[in-house]
């Protein structure tokens, strides 16, 4: 097979794989009806909202087929074709004035606000939200309220603007909120190997025996979507072969727990951080053996990683 045909076959394979994945998502996703409670005249003519969920991720799609000559002219007669659309979710909405109380999620106000810059007349954009972010509402059917709002117009290069918002809508949809749980892990210490196969000395270029700056990293994917990893990065033990800093990590999950990921690294100032070791496994493997305070993991260049499950699967909703 010539290189040209091989390259064509490779591209075709990637395209086919993407199409198959899109088809799976299309048929397996659950669509929810959307009721527009109030909207501007232009949104009624040119806007559309759809809500669905797939793989424990809620998707809100906004379609804006903007009319011709939608963008106003600035003082020099040039189009002010820079604008943004925002989406914000609320537990309740007053259709006259907007939100009553904003969501407060993980300490962030309006965490569900998303925006996109529009530079053309036909524009679609998507807001994705992991369903575990709804841990504060009871599981089952639940109404959500959201507002789509276009900001004013801006010139893309000059500081000239018009604050008129022509497209906006307030809508509601009833979604299925799954059972959501929280698990908490607690660590005690990390000890690196020091034998004929691996030595922490010399890992770093320094005048202190070249010992590494150790830190560890945790990640959990609740819905098989790398876009919404829950992560934790520890502090560092500098110029050390051991890490002695108790850490507590909590993460949200659904009824069925996926695998956890723990990795240990050496922080470098002048290059990429050096990999020391990685563990992937189930939360049950972190339950201490009888008579022990912590479970002791051993993997790659880690002689001992002391960790335990502090609270397992605490119901949140």
Sequence ranges of the chain with CATH classification 2.60.40.10: 21-177
Q: How many beta carbons lie within 10 A of that of residue 85, not counting itself? A: 22
155-206, pLDDT tens digit by residue? 878 888 887 777 888 899 999 999 999 999 999 999 999 998 898 886 766 5
Sequence ranges of the chain with CATH classification 2.60.40.150: 181-315
Q: Which CATH code for domain 21-177?
A: 2.60.40.10
Question: Which are the contacts of 246, defined by CB distance < 8 A and separation ≥ 6?
Answer: 186, 187, 188
**Segment holding 106, helix H or strand E:** none
Given this model, what pLDDT does residue 118 score?
Answer: 56
Q: How far apart are the first and last CA of the chain?
A: 58
Q: What is the mean pLDDT of the chain?
A: 81
Q: Hey, what are 86's tokens?
A: 């925002």
262-291, pLDDT tens digit by residue? 999 999 888 899 999 999 999 999 998 888
Q: Which CATH number fits domain 181-315: 3.40.50.300, 2.60.40.150, 1.10.3470.10, 2.40.110.10?
A: 2.60.40.150
């Amino acid at each position: 097979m010539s290189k040209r045909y091989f390259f064509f076959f490779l591209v075709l394979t990637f395209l086919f794989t993407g199409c198959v994945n899109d088809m799976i998502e299309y048929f397996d996703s659950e669509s929810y009806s959307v009721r527009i409670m109030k909207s501007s005249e232009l949104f009624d003519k040119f806007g559309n909202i759809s809500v669905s969920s797939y793989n424990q991720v809620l998707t809100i799609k906004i379609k804006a087929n903007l009319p011709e000559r939608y963008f106003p002219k600035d003082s020099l007669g040039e189009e002010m074709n820079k604008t943004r659309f925002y989406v914000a979710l609320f537990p309740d909405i007053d259709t006259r004035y907007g939100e009553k109380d904003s969501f407060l999620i993980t300490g962030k106000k309006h965490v569900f606000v998303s925006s996109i810059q529009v530079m053309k007349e036909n524009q679609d954009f998507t807001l994705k939200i992991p369903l575990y972010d709804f841990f504060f509402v009871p599981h089952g059917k639940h109404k959500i309220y959201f507002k789509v709002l276009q900001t004013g117009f801006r010139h893309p290069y000059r500081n000239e603007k018009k604050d008129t918002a022509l497209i906006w809508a307030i809508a509601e949809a009833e979604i299925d909120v799954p059972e959501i749980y929280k698990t908490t892990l607690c660590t005690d210490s990390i000890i690196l190997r020091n034998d004929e196969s691996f030595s922490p000395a010399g890992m770093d270029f320094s005048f202190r025996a070249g010992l590494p700056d150790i830190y560890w990293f945790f990640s959990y994917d609740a819905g098989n979507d790398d876009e919404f990893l829950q992560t934790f990065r520890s502090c560092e033990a500098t110029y050390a072969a051991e890490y002695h800093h108790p850490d507590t990590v909590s993460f949200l999950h659904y009824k069925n727990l996926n695998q956890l990921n723990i990795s240990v690294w050496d922080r470098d100032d002048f290059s990429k951080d050096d990999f020391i070791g990685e563990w992937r496994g189930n939360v049950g493997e972190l339950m201490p053996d009888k008579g022990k305070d912590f479970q002791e993991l051993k993997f790659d260049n880690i002689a001992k990683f002391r960790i335990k499950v502090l609270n397992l699967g605490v119901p949140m909703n």
